[in-house]
Structure 1
Amino acid sequence: MLFVIFQAIKEPADLIQAYVEATLMVSGLSKQSPEARNISRQLYQLLLKRAGPQHATAWLLANTMLGGLGLIKSENKDYKIRWHLPSCYSVLGDQIEAEYFPNALRDTLRFFIASKMATLAEDTRAEVQKHKSLIQ
């Protein structure tokens, strides 16, 4: 059902936003459910495949991921993070070294995570520290 909804979205920015939010929402449930963890891994692969290697899309994806992870403020004033961030960082920590993960996105996320460590909530910071791949 979710993938049918994605097919109906034609605007690239809206599609990336939908994929990122779906990935983070499911990732946010990953500590409670092994099935959610598996689905979130699949969503990361699908998200990165759909975003494609185009330069403009890559920046849009990075910006959307940074906002969704609470590393930058969204330009949309009504935007709210509705997922459990420590769980999101845990899944990201498992996926960031994957072959399919774009190097530029990996480097951008690592830079922002490392530079924002002191401002992350304690539970999120603890999760990042468990996944050294997020800051190295």
Structure 2
Amino acid sequence: MPYLQLDVPNHYPAALKQDLAQRMGAQFAALMQTTPDLVNVAFRELGEGGVWNTGDGAPVPAAMLTLAIRRGRSAEQRERLAEALHTTVTEALGLDPVSLTIEFSYHAGDDIYKKRNIDGVLRGALGRDWTPGEAERSLLDTLEEEVRESGPAE
């Protein structure tokens, strides 16, 4: 449900991206009080000249991390996450720390739809708004239980 999309002006090995995605998901879950099974991470490797910051003077290479999340977290919580992800991403990818900007976009929980295999049947449900209790019980497990209680798929 959270979607962390990183636009970068370089290309990286798959193993590095896989490790970085795992670390980003774990950080997101810990700091945003949820579970890592909800987190999706995308690397958009736009290559040289693919991302620019148009500050004073000539544009300079840049990177952008967009975090699409469900509403409900405090500004302090989001700032802690941004700081942690900024450090993790710039160090792992060797980016100039000044080049990376992080932006949040917010969604209601029911703006998101997810499917899971439940008792051998592919079933889907809309998400729910975030609550701090997700750190203890996965939202996907809660949704799975609700789907089971609603009866068999048609």
> How would you bin the TM-score normalised by the shorter chain?
under 0.3
Structure with bigger helix share is 1
- Name the larger-Rg structure: 2
Structure with bigger strand share is 2
Q: Structure 2 length normalisation: TM-score?
A: 0.25
Q: Structure 1 length normalisation: TM-score?
A: 0.27
